[in-house]
A and B are shown apart, each in its own frame.
Chain A
């Protein structure tokens, strides 16, 4: 799709009046198609795609952070709904983004396929005859030689072949216009690969867009926090959050379960995290189980699916002993890091099944510090490593509202239950490992330690390899397209007027690469040299090359 593409007639001649409506519509469609597939349209669409992406980077996007979008709604209550109507919080899945994308796609197809056909044809046809007036080409000049015209042209032909031109010699004669005495000439061409690179580039761009779209349609992604000793299976209802393409059938998810054995985080002296690794077991629930270790930059890849560690944190563990002696040992839940640097974390452990009564539920809400430090009566964390774990918890008794039908976060309490008085505070304490909080009813809550949890992500993108291959091909095509040049050289040999010898007219036509003038000068100097050596016994004549640039 280089820009010197032969100009297509933009508008076909208007259909004579009186044609059937059908023909007229067809004509109109054809005209639209031609306009859509013009090179310029493709560039404009590409530009539009870039422009359309801009609001997606300046406004918060749901695909990146639901929270930021919610924040934007509270900060700009008037503006946000208007923007939302324009899909400006979902730019990359908006209809107008898709429209540009689809049009670009069509435009590329219409642009590239005919070019590819034309290129295939031109690969099989010899270089065209020399134009009548060679001195009109951008680079041209004259060379002289004492050799006879045919012999001089032999030398030129040989030199061009050595330079890997494809050369055709035409002996002139009386062929073309019937006028006798047209001089013999050669036409040479090289650099077909440039056009091949061009086509490869644009076809790969198409393939890349296809792969991207396919991945979006059939891909899915689920995230879940898994505490050491626990696991999950690949099913949407198990994930904390998931997203999936419109063509994904939840029954078709690959059957795979993953268990987290152990998680390790390592730190430099200055507390920069140096590595996160998770030892996992995975496999088809019916099949055998394998072990592996995954980490940052090193996901597990199996049959087109991938499992990543995207974060980590702590799940404090508690034992709860009821007045009647029933004990729940080492119950835990992930506390979400509120500060990535110190891993100070917040969370809530919900225990709905303590007693028979609905109002007999217990919840512990609080703060976990891997390395706790009391500062002015408030617990803070000073180190992401669990050197001195402590919790600050508040215990609530009452009804959690879990089965009320309203969804609530797993990681925090439903505040409205507290406001309504259905959950009441029954105790609070700061605990180190082994310490307990006794509630008024005799229930004892003991902080028994912690486990690490890993944020795991399960991803499936069937378009991924396809996109990678397309991207590599695109780069290859780009290199060919930019670095190679396509060059045509013509030479015509005429007898020197009034003496023996030949005057050669030489001209070249270059596409790409610039610098055509100096290259032409170099070429004609070399040809002159070759002509001189080929003519024995003659003193080297002055090269007379007026490079006309």
Chain B
């Protein structure tokens, strides 16, 4: 059933992708270190380019800022290495799926690995469309690497067939949606955290990392757009879960811990989307709600799977 050499390859690719992400992280650091603080006016352009589409922002830099050009080069290298890392990362899942002859998200190790991949791909997508957002690379890749290391050490499971309950096309529908939603919310949450850091009074005048981040407005917008994108997907994941639960567990909703926390996360994200358009809640308070959402999602994946006992416990951690 299980092909050991492919499973071995999958494990190797896992290490390769962590290594590549680490190289990219260093390059992103170099980008930040060599980048000069952008002038306010430029930042404005950058933000507009972020919303419109295209790489005007960097092309518009005044000539003669040598440091910025080298920072630019580092940024491009970092992004390139990230893409290669993401390919290796996708390879982890592909080879694992082939090894076990099933979709590669049947246990927590595979699920979490896929979520992190979605987050990286979402980040790369945004960074390519608006290079201004590339500057958050460090803050995306650092948690990505930490997350992958934790997943590799703490959640690793051998490639193996899944139990009867998971042999259903709903695995493809429900879990794929959950992975997409989760990965996108992760980028959204990181953007909100950075927004909170960036929008602190005085953040503009400093010369450290913070002042080199994209503008607060651009970060807020990134957080909002990703959440708007992720929310329907998450809604769908929960509905699909309920449909599956009706067939697999004999009821569509039973307040099983995972169901309860998915509902809590749903409500928190709904509240974030509302808060973002409610006077008095815009800006920092809304961003905090988004951060709470991310915490709930991570809690749902870790604590609920590992500590509480529920029907989702075939997550398979040994």
Contacts and interface: CB of A to CB of B under 8 A. Distances in A.
The answer on A and B forming one complex is yes
Interface stretch (B5-13, B114-122, B196-204, B262-270): B262-270
Interface of A: 2-4, 40, 43, 46-47, 49-51, 53-54, 56-58, 61, 63-64, 68, 91-92, 212, 221, 268-270, 272-276, 295-299, 306, 308, 310, 457, 459, 461, 464, 467-468, 471-472, 474-475, 478-479, 482, 514-515, 517-518
A467 B271 CA distance: 22
A57 B232 contact: no
Question: Top 5 nearest A-B pairs by Cβ distance?
Answer: A50-B267, A57-B260, A57-B257, A308-B250, A50-B264
B255 A64 contact: yes
B163 interface: yes
A63 B1 contact: no
A49 B164 CA distance: 34
Interface string B270-303: 1101100110000000000000000000000000
A313 to B, nearest CB: 15
Given A64-B255, A464-B252, A474 B261 contact: no
Given A54-B264, A464-B252, 11 more contacts: A46-B271, A57-B304, A68-B309, A221-B250, A268-B161, A274-B163, A297-B165, A474-B235, A475-B232, A482-B228, A518-B51
Contact of B239 (A58, A63, A472): A472
A295 to B, nearest CB: 8
Max chain B Cβ within 10 angstroms of own Cβ: one of A268, A306, A310: A268
Given A43-B271, A482-B231, A297 B255 contact: no
B256 A273 contact: no
B267 A47 contact: yes
A51 B242 CA distance: 21
B94 to A, nearest CB: 22
A268 B243 CA distance: 27
B128 interface: no
Contacts of A296: 164-165, 167, 248
B255 to A, nearest CB: 5
A4 B277 contact: yes
B162 interface: yes
B247 A475 contact: no
Label chain B's interface by main secondary structure.
helix
B16 to A, nearest CB: 28
How extensive is the interface on chain B, given as a class? Answer: 35 or more
Contacts of B263: 50, 53
Nearest to A65: B309
B161 A270 contact: yes
13 contacts: A56-B255, A57-B304, A63-B254, A221-B251, A295-B164, A296-B167, A297-B170, A306-B250, A459-B250, A478-B235, A479-B232, A514-B221, A518-B51
Given A3-B274, A272-B161, A299-B247, A53 B308 contact: no
Contacts of A467: 252
A270 B160 contact: yes
A61 B255 contact: yes
B237 to A, nearest CB: 11
Contacts of B247: 297-299
Contact of A310 (B225, B250, B309): B250
B209 interface: no
B257 A517 contact: no
A459 B148 CA distance: 42
B161 A49 contact: no
A488 B242 CA distance: 39
B139 interface: no
Contacts of B96: none
Contacts of B250: 221, 299, 306, 308, 310, 457, 459
A56 B260 contact: yes
Contact of A57 (B236, B268, B308): B308
Contacts of B278: 3, 40
Nearest to A308: B250
B271 A47 contact: yes
Contacts of B163: 272-274
Nearest to B316: A272
Nearest to B273: A482
Contacts of A43: 271, 274
Given A46-B270, A276-B164, A459 B228 contact: no
A57 B305 CA distance: 12
A57 B161 contact: no
Interface string B159-199: 01111110110100000000000000000000000000000
B57 interface: no
Interface string B22-54: 000000000000000000000000001001100
B51 A515 contact: yes
B3 interface: no
Contacts of B89: none
A22 to B, nearest CB: 37
Given A299-B247, A478-B232, A274 B167 contact: yes
